[in-house]
């Protein structure tokens, strides 16, 4: 919807700036940036969906979610390196992250459901350290190589003459497809009913004969798989290295706080909001300040403000709705 | 090699009655930046091992890239280990936290990597020697290269932190053309789609970027896939041996500036590359060469004087009487290198991506802050 509005809105004003071609913000650039924001948001959604699901169903703050993202990327890089198949690498990454998630749930997390949030944070933070050093142990200290396969590399020309990397188009598509699948799973399957029931009243669900601990393992593995898939897909265009999960984890927390903790729909809206704010803020805020400031000062003020933009958005959302956009709990 | 570390660790525990010189190495051995610290350490220890001296004890500790931990380690090494010489720090912010306090306590500091402008200018110290470069140097060389390549309109990009701003300042100091744009990204940013779109729209004829470590890998992979064809120039930090394999084909043909390259043709360098490969099973990076040169500088000074006589030891360091992997090496008045910086191009040799020198970017180049140094 915004993608359509962009060109129309900005068709008039640039005449004034035409002599400053280097700074000229064309309609194409704006649409491209919106696509970038969407793509970033969709990837954030995959991370945030698992995080919010785990928090919603089990009440667990899982700081180690970023480590599962990292595991996905490393496994994908290792499998792609060994077999040359990108698709197989994605599948293995998904499975490996799910298995790692299930093991972590059974060995560690299970003991933490009754514990305070602070204990959970402490234990899952310890898991980050264990996973990071373990990954270095297995794969070494240097970044790993994971490349986009030939059939997905290069740029495509979208309607309107926009050149956009094919892989990123694929990321948007794959992310939305996973989101749709998740929605169908939760709204229309038996497992989904149990997950939703578990969110509302876990004692009652257990009393009704649902094996709650198996459900928890399943949800945790599902969240882990989403994180692993997202790590593997993003790994092809970013650096596969130890500690790559933590920056994304922080953003994912911002997303679920904005969206409302426990809400998948909130995670989607929050992720797109954060993705668009972050991308468009980083590009247009410095330009905005250039209208009334010296370029050097405008760049530094604009960049600084852009780094803060998603946190400003988060604060505003929390002032307006303290439980997040779609949050039910007080 | 491992034996040497264990020996170093054991003797550290035992209080080391036998060792005459104690060296403390604080470097980054865990976390995202570990590759750099490991290369510096391995290069350094290779030279110590080759020297055959058993009276030098090296205490190695991991700073985890955290200034607070680096300061604690420095205090421990100076006060309880009683080291004579400190070295190893990779990052400028850690160096700024450790070096001024350490040199003020009479310890010598030999920098194998970080070269913040403050320590080259007004904050210089007689006991501080930088064996790598002043932070601006490789960027200045890139600006000079861009002139010689005929570029007239550059798009500049660096992370929004002190070394990032220094980098673009360095480039602009030498570059004579216009700027199509100047963008500061977030430190640790992993997605550059937005910046690449700006580059595409900017009308630039060249892109200069300073994005060390994982940031550079991400940018290069995404740039190669964006369909933007504007040539890219960078400093060696995004094209060192450790990173290139992770970037892969996306880096092929990119020109980058470095004071070291594995094909610099002198006997020391050829022997170093061969020995490093034999010892560790991988090609050395520029960080490894810096660690190796730092250790050899130290060894050359130890031949002439003992750290217990600071004036003589300082004079011996200043002479820089050692065979550098870079060929000719000497210090300027502010104890920073005056050296030649090369333009290299990324090539593929067999299955391995590596660099090949294509020319000299700056000859016998000194840093811009030497005049501000009063010592």
Instruction: For residues B119 and B195, state if they share a domain.
Output: no
pLDDT of residue A10: 33
Which is it for the CA torsion A228, A232, A238, A239, positive or negative? positive
Which is it for the CA torsion B348, B349, B353, B355, positive or negative? negative
Contact flag B198-A237 (C-beta cutoff 8 Å): no
What mean pLDDT is predicted for residues A115-130? 92
**Chain B residues within an 8 Å CB radius of A148:** 221, 225
Instruction: For residues B346 and B226, state if they share a domain.
Output: yes
Can you name the residues that pair with B155 across neighbouring β-strands?
B181, B207
For residue B301, what are the domain limits?
2-133+265-335
Nearest CB among B197, B203, B245 relative to A32 is that of B197
What mean pLDDT is predicted for residues B55-81? 94
Check CB contact of B184 with chain A, cutoff 8 Å: yes
Residue B225 has pLDDT above 60, yes or no: yes
Instruction: For residues B100 and B230, state if they share a domain.
Output: no
Angle at A141 between CA B352 and CA A136, to 5 degrees: 130
User: If you ran DSSP here, which 8-state letter would residue B353 be given?
Assistant: E
Q: pLDDT tens for residues A263-278? A: 888 999 999 999 999 9
Which of A17, A141, A153 should we substitute to test contact with B (largest number of B Cβ atoms within 10 Å)? A141
Q: Does A304 or A35 have the greater pLDDT score?
A: A35
Nearest CB among A24, A166, A239 relative to B246 is that of A239
* Chain A nearest CA to B142, separation (Å): 21
Q: How far apart are the first and last CA of chain A?
A: 32
Which of B41, B190, B280 should we substitute to test contact with A (largest number of A Cβ atoms within 10 Å)? B190
Instruction: For residues B290 and B208, state if they share a domain.
Output: no
**Chain A residues within an 8 Å CB radius of B248:** 145, 147
Q: pLDDT tens for residues B125-138? A: 999 999 999 999 99
Instruction: For residues B154 and B250, state if they share a domain.
Output: yes
**Chain B residues within an 8 Å CB radius of A244:** 32, 190, 214
Nearest CB among B32, B203, B226 relative to A22 is that of B203
Check CB contact of B222 with chain A, cutoff 8 Å: yes
Q: Give the number of C-alpha atoms closer than 13 A to the C-alpha of residue A288, restricted to the C-beta side.
A: 11
pLDDT of residue A291: 85
The CATH number linked to B324 is: 3.40.50.2300
pLDDT of residue A25: 53
pLDDT of residue B7: 52
Banded pLDDT at A23 (limits 50, 70, 90):
very low
Pair of tokens at residue B249: 């084909």
Contact flag B214-A132 (C-beta cutoff 8 Å): no
pLDDT of residue B17: 43
pLDDT of residue A153: 86
pLDDT of residue B204: 94
At what angle are helices A65-83 and A245-259 packed, to 10 degrees?
A: 130
Instruction: For residues B160 and B26, state if they share a domain.
Output: no
Contact flag A155-B213 (C-beta cutoff 8 Å): no
Banded pLDDT at B326 (limits 50, 70, 90):
very high
Q: pLDDT tens for residues B188-223? A: 788 898 899 899 989 999 999 999 878 888 899 899
Instruction: For residues B233 and B349, state if they share a domain.
Output: yes
Q: pLDDT tens for residues B132-161? A: 999 999 999 999 999 999 999 999 999 888
Classified as helix, coil or strand, B208 is strand
Does CATH number 1.10.3470 belong to domain A26-320? Answer: yes
Hey, where are the domains in chain A? Answer: 26-320
* Chain A nearest CA to B19, separation (Å): 31
* Chain A nearest CA to B205, separation (Å): 12
Q: pLDDT tens for residues B228-278? A: 999 999 999 989 888 888 888 889 999 999 999 999 999 999 999 999 999
Contact flag B194-A279 (C-beta cutoff 8 Å): yes
Instruction: For residues B146 and B216, state if they share a domain.
Output: yes
Cβ-Cβ contacts under 8 Å for B17 (sequence gap 6 or more): none
Q: Give the number of C-alpha atoms closer than 13 A to the C-alpha of residue B240, restricted to the C-beta side.
A: 26
Instruction: For residues B107 and B147, state if they share a domain.
Output: no
What mean pLDDT is predicted for residues A115-124? 91
pLDDT of residue B5: 57
What mean pLDDT is predicted for residues B371-375? 90
- Mean pLDDT lowest among A24-33, A99-108, A284-293, B217-226: A24-33
Classified as helix, coil or strand, A90 is helix
Instruction: For residues B99 and B220, state if they share a domain.
Output: no
Transcribe B18-59 into DSSP letters.
S-SEEEEEEE--SSTTHHHHHHHHHHHHHHHHHHT-SSEEEE
Share of chain A above pLDDT 70, in %: 92
Residue A299 has pLDDT above 80, yes or no: no
Nearest CA in chain A to B183: A299
Banded pLDDT at A284 (limits 50, 70, 90):
confident
pLDDT of residue A225: 96
Q: Report the C-alpha dihedral over residues B260, B261, B266, B268, rounded to 10 degrees.
A: 70
Q: pLDDT tens for residues B356-370? A: 999 999 999 999 999
Pair of tokens at residue A94: 């998904």
Query: Are the C-beta atoms of A93 and A255 separated by less than 8 Å?
Result: no
Q: How many CB atoms lie within 10 A of CB A34?
A: 19
Residue B14 has pLDDT above 60, yes or no: no
pLDDT of residue A18: 34
- Mean pLDDT lowest among A98-102, A180-184, A297-301, B298-302: A297-301
- Residue A259 sits at φ, ψ, to 5 deg, of -75, -20
Residue A13 has pLDDT above 80, yes or no: no
Residue A330 has pLDDT above 50, yes or no: no
Banded pLDDT at B371 (limits 50, 70, 90):
very high
Query: E strands along B173-323, which residues?
Result: 178-185, 206-209, 232-235, 255-258
Cβ-Cβ contacts under 8 Å for B52 (sequence gap 6 or more): none
Banded pLDDT at B31 (limits 50, 70, 90):
confident
Q: Which ipTM score applies to this complex?
A: 0.73
Classified as helix, coil or strand, A12 is coil
- Provide the domain count of chain B: 2
User: If you ran DSSP here, which 8-state letter would residue A151 be given?
Assistant: G
**Alpha helix (H) residue ranges in A84-201:** 86-107, 117-139, 166-188, 190-200
Banded pLDDT at B8 (limits 50, 70, 90):
low
Which is it for the CA torsion A158, A161, A167, A172, positive or negative? negative
Query: Are the C-beta atoms of B207 and B155 separated by less than 8 Å?
Result: yes
Query: Are the C-beta atoms of A325 and A260 separated by less than 8 Å?
Result: yes
Classified as helix, coil or strand, A40 is helix
């Amino acid at each position: 919807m915004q993608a359509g509005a962009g060109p129309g809105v900005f068709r008039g004003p640039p005449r004034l700036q035409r002599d400053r071609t280097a700074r000229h913000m064309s309609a194409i650039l704006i649409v491209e940036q919106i696509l970038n924001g969407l793509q970033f948001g969709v990837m954030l959604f995959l991370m945030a969906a698992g995080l919010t699901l785990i928090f919603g169903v089990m009440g667990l703050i899982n700081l180690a979610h970023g480590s599962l993202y990292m595991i996905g990327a490393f496994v994908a890089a290792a499998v792609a390196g060994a077999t040359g198949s990108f698709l197989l690498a994605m599948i293995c990454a998904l499975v490996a992250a799910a298995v790692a998630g299930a093991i972590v749930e059974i060995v560690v997390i299970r003991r933490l459901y009754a514990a305070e949030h602070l204990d959970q944070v402490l234990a899952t933070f310890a898991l980050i350290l264990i996973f990071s050093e373990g990954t270095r142990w297995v794969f070494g200290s240097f970044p790993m190589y994971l490349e986009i396969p030939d059939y997905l590399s290069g740029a495509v020309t979208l309607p309107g003459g926009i050149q956009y990397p094919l892989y990123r188009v694929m990321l948007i598509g794959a992310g939305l497809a996973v989101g749709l699948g998740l929605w169908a799973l939760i709204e229309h399957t038996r497992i989904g009913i149990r997950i939703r029931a578990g969110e509302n009243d876990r004692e009652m669900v257990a009393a009704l004969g649902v094996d709650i601990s198996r459900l928890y393992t399943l949800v945790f593995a599902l969240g882990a798989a989403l994180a692993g898939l997202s790590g593997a897909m993003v790994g092809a265009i970013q650096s596969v290295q130890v500690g790559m999960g933590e920056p994304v984890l922080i953003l994912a927390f911002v997303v679920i706080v904005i969206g409302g903790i426990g809400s998948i729909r909130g995670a989607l809206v929050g992720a797109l909001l954060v993705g668009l704010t972050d991308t468009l803020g980083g590009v247009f805020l410095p330009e905005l300040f250039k209208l009334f400031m010296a370029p050097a000062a405008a760049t530094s003020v604009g960049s600084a403000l852009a780094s803060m933009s998603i946190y400003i958005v988060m604060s505003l959302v929390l002032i307006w709705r303290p439980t997040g956009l779609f949050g039910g709990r007080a | 090699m491992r034996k040497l570390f264990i020996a170093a660790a054991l003797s550290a525990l035992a209080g080391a009655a036998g060792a005459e010189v104690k060296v403390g190495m604080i470097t980054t051995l865990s976390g995202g930046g570990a590759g750099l610290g490991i290369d510096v350490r391995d290069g350094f220890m290779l030279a110590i091992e080759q020297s055959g001296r058993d009276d030098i004890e090296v205490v190695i500790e991991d700073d985890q890239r955290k200034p607070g931990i680096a300061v604690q380690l420095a205090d421990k090494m100076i006060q309880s280990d009683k080291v004579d010489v400190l070295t190893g720090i990779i990052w400028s912010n850690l160096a700024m936290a450790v070096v001024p306090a350490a040199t003020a306590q009479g310890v010598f500091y030999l920098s194998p990597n970080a070269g913040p402008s403050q320590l080259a200018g007004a904050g210089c110290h007689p006991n501080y020697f930088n064996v790598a470069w002043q932070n601006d140097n490789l960027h200045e060389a890139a600006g000079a290269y861009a002139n010689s390549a005929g570029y007239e309109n550059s798009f500049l990009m660096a992370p929004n932190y002190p070394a990032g701003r220094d980098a673009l300042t360095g480039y602009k100091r030498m570059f004579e053309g216009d700027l199509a744009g100047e963008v500061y990204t977030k430190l640790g940013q992993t997605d550059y789609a937005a910046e690449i779109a700006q580059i595409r729209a900017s009308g630039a004829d060249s892109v200069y970027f300073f994005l060390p470590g994982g940031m550079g890998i991400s940018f290069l992979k995404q740039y190669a896939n964006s369909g933007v064809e504007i040539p890219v120039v960078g400093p060696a930090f995004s094209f060192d041996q450790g990173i290139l394999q992770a970037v892969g084909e996306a880096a092929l043909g990119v020109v980058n500036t470095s004071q070291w390259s594995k094909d610099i043709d002198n006997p020391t360098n050829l022997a170093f590359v061969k020995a490093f490969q034999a010892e560790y099973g991988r090609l050395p990076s520029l960080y490894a060469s810096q660690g190796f040169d730092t250790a050899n500088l130290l060894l050359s000074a130890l031949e002439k004087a003992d750290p217990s006589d600071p004036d003589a030891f300082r004079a011996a360091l200043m002479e820089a009487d050692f065979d550098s992997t870079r060929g000719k090496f000497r210090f300027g008045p502010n104890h920073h290198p005056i050296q030649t910086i090369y333009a290299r191009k990324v090539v593929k040799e067999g299955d391995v991506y590596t660099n090949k020198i294509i020319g000299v970017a700056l000859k016998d180049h000194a840093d811009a802050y030497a005049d501000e140094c009063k010592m």
